[in-house]
Amino acid sequence: MKALILAAGYATRLYPLTKQYPKPLLEVKGRPIINYIIDKLKPVSAVDEIYIVTNSKFILNFRKWAKSIKCPKKITLVDDKTKNNQDRLGAIGDINFVIKKQKIKDGLLVIGGDNLFSGSLKGFLGFSIKNSPAASIGLYKLKQKKDARRYGVVKLDNYKKVISFQEKPPVPDSNIVAMCLYYIPKNYLNLIEEYVQSRNKKADATGSYIAWLKDKINVYGYVFSGWWFDIGDYKYLNAAKNNFAQ
């Protein structure tokens, strides 16, 4: 199995902080956000290589960071060749780019590079493998349903199968939201390119892909417990700095 960390966005909502510096390398509790994700991947024996997709603007920052990180697994940096927010490939576009460029044939664990969470990946992957060859997504249950408006909102059946997915609905019908954490079995990797080719615009929001995917194959949802911070803007970056604990 391969792991892919998405780190090619331009984080415009965090300007000027991220105008010349990538969001996944911002520090929380004295460490870059991406280091916490690497820590989650280290004990996962099924993962034999970690890919990090970034862009031409920030690739040098990541190369410098990679020299300091200690990880027993091979880490491969991938430059998606974009230079600004207008040219970005989007999250799904970047996944497709890495699959094709690196000729990935294994199952793929995808994690957003701005995700901070305290739960273990072992439970999620155990759940994913149990439900294979279906795809799986990581979910989180918010305390307030109204707060789900800024996320992809998910409804599950009694078997944890995704039966509804709405991207940032104005009136959420669930307080369970997607975390930008996905397991894609190897036999469904081709559906990434199929989705990208079917879009007339950038394949950006991963939630839109899941909404499309659930109508083609079974997609199951695993609800994490503990802390979760999606570092989208200053409010949530400051919340993570004040409250995050592994």
Q: What is the DSSP letter of 137?
A: E
Domain that residue 145 falls in: 2-243
Write down the residue that tokens 């199968």 correspond to: 161
pLDDT, the chain, mean = 88
Report the pLDDT averaged over residues 94-100: 94
Kindly report, residue by residue over 137-164, the tens digit of the pLDDT. 999 999 888 888 888 899 999 999 999 8
Q: Quick: pLDDT tens for 32-77.
A: 999 999 999 999 999 999 999 999 999 999 999 999 999 999 999 9
Give me the CATH number covering residue 210: 3.90.550.10
How far is the C-alpha of 199 from the C-alpha of 216, rounded, in Å? 16
Ramachandran quadrant class, 243 (left: phi over 0; alpha: psi -120 to 50; beta: rest): alpha
Predicted TM-score (pTM) of this structure:
0.92
Burial 77-116 (b: 16+ CB within 10 A, else e): ebbbebeeeeebbbbbbbbbbbbeeeebeebbbbbbbbbb
- The total of structural domains in the chain comes to 1
Is the pLDDT reported for residue 246 higher than 60? Answer: no
